[in-house]
Each structure stands twice: as C-alpha cells, then as structure tokens.
Chain A
Amino acid sequence: MALTFVMPGALREFSGGRGEVRVGGAAHTAGEALALLWAECPGARDRVMNERGEVRTHINIFIDGENIRHGGGLAAPVGDGAEIIILPAVSGGQAPS
C-alpha cells in the first residue's frame, strides 16, 4: 500500500524539506496512515497531535479531499494510493487572552 502525504510549510522542517512524503505499509484508517507518517517524519507527530492522541483543534486532515472530521476522524477509511493533505485551519489566529 502506498500513500502520499502533502505537508504544510510549517512541517517541512520535519520532512527533510519535502512537500510530499510517500509512505508504504498497511493502513486502513487515518490513524494508521498517520502512524506510517510518524515513522518517516517523527517530528511531525507532536505538531499535528496532542498528548491525548487527538488531532489538534486547528489542524485539518483531508483524505482524497474529504476532511476526516466529517468522516470518522482517525477511524476514517484510507484506500490504497490515497493523497492525505495536512493543513492549518483558517480558524487559527491568536486571540488575546
């Protein structure tokens, strides 16, 4: 199984500068696919996920164009050859405390 992750600029420090990271291995869900990415780019994990294993509030992950928040979250299905895009959400401006 082959997957392609499209990395945002903020994470390329942890992907060796690559905008696209191709990973291989068994993955049936978004969570399993992300685990393959963490093995390839370990520094990306804690930027995308928090300690509770949740995707950070203002990060969106799209599998073949579908936001996983609306399709099962980390249990969202992943097919062979899928393109997975990680993007910061438009909602992420810093509000004064």
Chain B
Amino acid sequence: MPVATHVHPKPGDILLLVGTMKGAFILRAGKDRASWDLGGPYFPGSAVYAMAYDARNGRHRIWAGPNSMHWGGLLRSSDDFGKTWTNPEEANVKFPEATGAALKQIWQITPGRADEADTIYCGVEPAAVFTSRDAGETWALNEGLWNHPQREHWQPGGGGLCLHTIMLDPADIDRIRIAVSTAGMYVTEDGGSTWRPSNKGVRAVFLPDQHPEFGQCVHKVVQSKQKPERMFLQNHWGLYRSDDRGETWTDIANGVPSDFGFPIAMHPAQPDTAWIVPLESDEFRCTPEGRLRVYRTRDAGASWQAMTGGLPQEDAYETVLRDGLTVDALDPAGVYFGTRNGKLFASRDEGESWTEILDGLPPVISVKTAIV
C-alpha cells in the first residue's frame, strides 16, 4: 500500500478534501491560494464519496466515508489533518436488523448548524439519513424517512438509490431538505419526524407524467445562507431556481449548452451567483464539444456565462460528478472542481481564471473545502 504524505495546516489556511474512487486526499494552501500541498492517499483502494470538515466547538475534525468493495464502509474521522484516523471496531453507520437493509455507500456527511454543535447528519445508499447527536460517536437511522410510504416507489439512478444531499435550513432548525436519486426532494418541518415530497416545477423527463409529486432525479441542490428562500437545483435534465425555500421551482436553463449535469455550487455571500458544469446528454455525460466550461450566473439564472480561462478547450471530455464542485468562503470566492479523469482545478477569482492543481488522481467523486 502507498505511504501517505501529510499536510500541516495553520490557522487561516484553506483545505480541499478530495474523495476519489481509490482513496482520499487533503490539499492545503495559504490564504492566497497560490500553491497547494498534497496529503494522502488515505484509505487507498476505498471509494470515498463523502468528506466533511467540522470546525464547531473548536474542532479541526475531518470526516470521511471510505467504502471498500471488500470490507464495507463506515465513517472515520481525523483530528490531526489525516495523520491518524479513527477506525471503530463496530461499524458506526449500519441499518437496524429489522430493516433488512445493508449499507452500500456513504454519500454525504453534513455537520449540523452552529447551535447544534454535536449533531451530524449522514446520507447513505440505500436512501436514508442517519443522525448523530454526540459528535459522531453513535448514529441512528431516521425512521420517519425510512418508513415513508412512498419509499417502495423510489427507483435507483445510475449511482444507486442514494441520498446525496442534506440541506439544513439556516433559519429554521426543524426544517431539513434532502434529495434522493431517484425520488426527488423531501422536506421535514418537524426536525425529521415526518417528511413530504417537495418537487413542484421539477421535471422527470424519463416518466410518462413529467411532473409527478415525487420520483425526480435531482442531482444536486444548494441553499443560500444569507437568503434561505433562494435555492438552485441541477436536475437530471433541468436547471432550476427556487425563491420560496424549495416549495416551487422555475426553469433557469438560459443560454447553457446543456441543462444536463451533476453539480451546482453557490456563492457564499451573493445569493444570485452560482456555478455549474453542463454535460452533453445523459448518455454521453461529458463536457459538450470536448470543451471544459464552467458556467456562472450573476443574476440568479437569468443568464449564464462560460468561464473558460485556463481550462482546456479542445479534446477535453471531462465529467464532474454531483459533489465534485465546491466554493470556499473567501472574498473573492475560490471555486474548485475535480473530474472523473483525475484532474483538479481551482479558481481564485470566482471562475474568471483557472489553474490545474493536480492531474493523475483516481476518478474524483467529491471535493469539499474548509478554512482552518
């Protein structure tokens, strides 16, 4: 097995947490984001679909959900930026025996809000939410969603029946929105006891009824912290905005080469600004015309502009998956994405210009960022 190198972050440094099909990597840069140190590979051979950074209560904790095709998956954490990782004897995220289910993949790790500093949410396949109230020591299945009567009609997408998005409403602690491929979005307004589908206006082009109550293949949803009613959604065909906390959705595929894609990311302070990476058709799933273009809107989706500076514009058949695009919290915002061809790109100026940080990684599944 490869010997991992490690990064040595200082307060104020920027981290990139990169999950790949063959392990995890941690990159570090100073505030100028000019050069990056590489740590890893961690969990070599395991697919890492989910990573997260928990800075609450003075922590510097990195979470990862490595999944070995041989030995299964569980949540592991590091309090020293990857030098050591927990490896609990008993798998911490596991389905109760009565469900008859078995964990296939950990898709999302979402630390709770600042005022619930020991709460962490985890989205998994088969589609379910697990919650920890003790900073990740123990986990419990959300029974309300697991027992939802519509579950029997949910269908797995190409990545399996995965619960890949957990959005904690920044202003309402009882309100959480989740997204499942392929079930669409569900929202709870009572802290997770009950859930209802919430997909009005979102198409399901692969069904006879293209506007069902549920069953959409939502790829990624993001919500503004400053303006919680504002959300953006990248669908399996379809690009949408909501101005009412996700109750209704409006098509905003204006001037993009394709409204198919996986990721969408939002500006940390400007609720009208978002980024996407359109892909050509749901069969090819590569960047259109062999040109790697990130599209950015500054006007809430009324128009989109191609951001190509420093990105290859010939023979670049790349794919960016649903968690492969992220934005940091600096000003100007940094934008980062990784591709299935193992490339990692960064922009320090909100997408105006790009630098290839790494090439030759295993296929990149997820990219998250944090400030130490």
Contact = CB atoms under 8 A, between A and B. Distances in A.
The A contact surface, by secondary structure, is: loop
A96 B68 CA distance: 13
Interface string B117-160: 00000000000000000000000000000000000000000111
Interface stretch (A26-34, A48-56, A70-78): A48-56
A96 B74 contact: no
A57 B96 CA distance: 20
A96 B159 CA distance: 10
B75 to A, nearest CB: 12
Contacts of A47: 71-72
A45 B88 CA distance: 12
Nearest to B22: A94
Contacts, number: 69
A93 B68 CA distance: 9
B365 interface: yes
A51 B95 contact: yes
A97 B71 contact: no
Given A43-B89, A56-B72, A89-B70, A94 B47 contact: yes
A88 B70 contact: yes
A36 interface: no
A94 B90 contact: no
Interface in A56-82: 56-59
A51 B70 contact: no
B353 interface: no
Interface string B354-372: 0000000001010000000
A42 interface: yes
B84 interface: no
Contacts of B46: 94
B365 A56 contact: no
Contacts of B102: 50-52, 54
Contacts of B363: 96
Interface residues of B, number: 31
A82 to B, nearest CB: 23
Contacts of A97: 21, 47, 158-160, 321, 365
B22 A46 contact: no
B365 A46 contact: no
B201 interface: no
Interface in B50-106: 68-72, 74, 87-91, 94-97, 100-103
Contact of B97 (A51, A57, A58): A51
B45 interface: yes
B71 A96 contact: no
A13 B84 CA distance: 14
A94 B72 contact: no
A94 B72 CA distance: 12
Nearest to B101: A51
Contact of B94 (A14, A42, A51): A51
A58 B90 contact: no
A55 B208 CA distance: 40
What are the 7 tightest A-B residue pairs by CB atom distance, in nearest-first order? Answer: A43-B89, A46-B91, A50-B102, A88-B70, A47-B71, A92-B69, A92-B70
21 contacts: A43-B89, A43-B90, A46-B89, A46-B91, A48-B71, A50-B103, A51-B96, A51-B102, A51-B103, A56-B70, A59-B70, A88-B70, A88-B71, A92-B68, A92-B69, A93-B69, A94-B22, A94-B46, A96-B21, A96-B340, A97-B160
Given A46-B89, A52-B102, 11 more contacts: A10-B70, A10-B71, A42-B90, A43-B89, A46-B74, A51-B101, A56-B70, A58-B70, A88-B70, A94-B22, A97-B160
